[in-house]
């Protein structure tokens, strides 16, 4: 159960699991606004005033966001490496000495 004034956990899970491609513009806007509000509320409320379940929910959400950010940067690094290797191979076979 989430603390008063915070978005309940079942809504957060539902918002996350439903693909954006199946959401309308207003639903996406509402999800983004709700997530931003809940994240801000989490940041300003000291942990000692949060319920145990709210602390756990905030920790899970923060760790999930960190994992998403990390995976995107790893994906970008992999793309860059593949592009560099492709360019190097192309230059080798065409005789371009870049």
- Mean pLDDT of all residues in 8-29: 83
Confidence of residue 95 (pLDDT cuts 50, 70, 90): confident
Specify burial of residue 63 (Cβ count, 10 A radius: 0-12, 13-18, 19+).
exposed
What residue ranges do the domains of the chain occupy? 9-94
Where does residue 5 fall: left (phi above 0), alpha (psi -120 to 50 degrees), or beta otherwise? left
| Separation CA 58–CA 47 (nearest Å) | 10
pLDDT, tens digit, 9 for 90 and up, residues 63-84: 766 555 555 666 667 777 787 7
State if pTM tops 0.75.
Answer: no
Phi, psi of 51 (to 5 degrees): -70, 165
CA terminus-to-terminus distance, the chain:
60
What tokens were used for 41? 């509320």
């Amino acid at each position: 159960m989430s603390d008063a004034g915070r978005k309940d956990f079942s809504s957060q899970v539902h918002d996350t699991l439903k693909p954006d491609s199946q959401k309308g513009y207003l639903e996406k806007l509402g999800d983004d606004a709700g997530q931003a509000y809940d994240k801000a509320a989490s940041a300003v409320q000291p942990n000692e005033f949060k319920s145990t379940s709210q602390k756990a929910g905030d920790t899970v959400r923060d760790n999930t966001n960190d994992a998403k950010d990390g995976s995107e940067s790893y994906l970008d690094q992999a793309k860059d490496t593949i592009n560099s290797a492709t360019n190097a191979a192309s230059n080798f076979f065409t005789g371009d000495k870049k």
